[in-house]
Amino acid sequence: MKVALVQHDVVFEDAAATCEHLRPLVQEAAAKGARLVVLTEMFATGFSMAAERVAEPPERGTGGEFLVGMAAETGAAVCGSLPVREVGVPRPANRFVCAFPDGRTVGYEKVHPFSFAGEDAYYAAGSSVVTFTWEGLAITPFVCYDLRFADMFWSAARQTDCFVVVSNWPAARREHFRALAVARAIENQAYVLATNRVGSGGGLDYAGGTIAIGPFGEVMAEAGEAEETLLVDLEAARVEEVRRAYPFLADRRDFSVLPSAPGERGPTRLLRR
C-alpha cells in the first residue's frame, strides 16, 4: 500500500483556512497513488489549548467534514487528529480520526495529554488503544506525546503492522521525536509513520522531521523543515518476514514493579507475570 505523509503548516486556530491549504496537498498525494494520506496532530487548528473555541462535533465540524469529504473525493483513507467535543461530555478529546471513502470513520483518543503544556487541563485522556485494517495492513494510531510511552506500543505490537503517529512536536525537541520513532519501530518490528507539522503557532516553532521507518529500523523516507509530502510503500509481508527472521517479540515478557519496604532503598524488584 502506498502511503502519503503530509508535512504541512497550519493557520493557527483557523480550521477553514488550513483545510483550504491542505486540499490540493491531499488531492496531489492521492493522484500519485496514495491509498492512505496522513496529516498531523490537530491538523486543522494547530495545538491549541482554546478548547472551547476550536473543539468541534465529531464528523460535523470543519476538520471532520474535511477528512470525510477528501476521502470520498479521492478514494483514499485520510487521517489526522482533531479537537472533538461529544454532546454531554465535560471536556473534548484530542481524537485521531481516519475517514474512509465509503463514509466510515474510526477514531482513537489520545491517551497521554501533554501535561507539560497543560493539555490535560483542557482535553480528556483516552483510555484504550485502537487497531484497524485498511487494504490488508493492520494499523494502530497514536498521537504525538504517546510516542514517549513505549508500553502502549508493546501492548499492540503483535496485532500491528504499522504504527501511525500524528504530531505537533516542537522544534526544541526534534531529536527526541526522531529517536523515539526509530526506537518504536525497532523494538516492535513494525512500520512507524510519524508526521509532524512545520511553521509556528501558539508561541511554538515546529521543524517537521516527518519520518517513515521500516520494521527492521531502516529509515525509508525523512522530511526536512519545509512543507513536504513523503510517499512510501508498505507491505504486511515485510513485517512478517522481519519477525520470522528475528523472532524477538516472542521473548517479550510483562513485569510488575514490586514496591520496596517503607524506607528501603535498593535495586528495583520485578515480578514476572
Catalytic residue among 19, 41, 98, 109: 41
Confidence of residue 119 (pLDDT cuts 50, 70, 90): very high
- Strand 162-167 relative to strand 191-196, pairing: parallel
Identify whether 110 is a catalytic site residue.
Answer: yes
**Over residues 37-53, mean pLDDT:** 97
- Closest residue by Cα to residue 202 from 6, 14, 64: 14
Question: Which of 115, 180, 175 is closest to 148 using CA atoms?
Answer: 180
CB 191 within 8 A of CB 163: yes
Average pLDDT, integer, range 201-210: 96
pLDDT value for 271: 54
Q: What are phi and psi of 8, to 5 degrees?
A: -140, 160
Answer whether 81's CB lies under 8 Å from 166's CB. Answer: yes
Does residue 222 have an active-site annotation? Answer: no
Q: pLDDT tens, 222-257?
A: 999 999 999 999 999 999 999 999 999 999 887 666
Q: 2 an active-site residue?
A: no
Within 10 angstroms of residue 256's Cβ, the number of other Cβ atoms is 10
CA distance 177 to 189: 18
Q: Are 34 and 40 contacting, i.e. CB atoms less than 8 angstroms apart?
A: no
Domain residue spans in the chain?
A: 2-272
User: What angle, 0 to 180 degrees and rounded to 10, lies between the N-to-C axes of helices 15-31 and 62-74?
Assistant: 20
Of residues 19, 79, 98, 144, which has the active-site annotation? 144
214's grid cell: 521500516
State how far the Cα of 7 lies from the Cα of 5, in Å rounded to an integer. 6
Q: What is the pLDDT of residues 51-110, one digit of tens each?
A: 999 999 986 899 999 999 999 999 999 999 999 998 888 899 999 999 999 999 999 999
Domain 2-272 superfamily per CATH: Carbon-nitrogen hydrolase (3.60.110.10)
Task: Compute CA 148 distance to the chain's CA centroid, rounded to the nearest angstrom.
Answer: 12
Active-site pick, 19, 110, 119, 162: 110
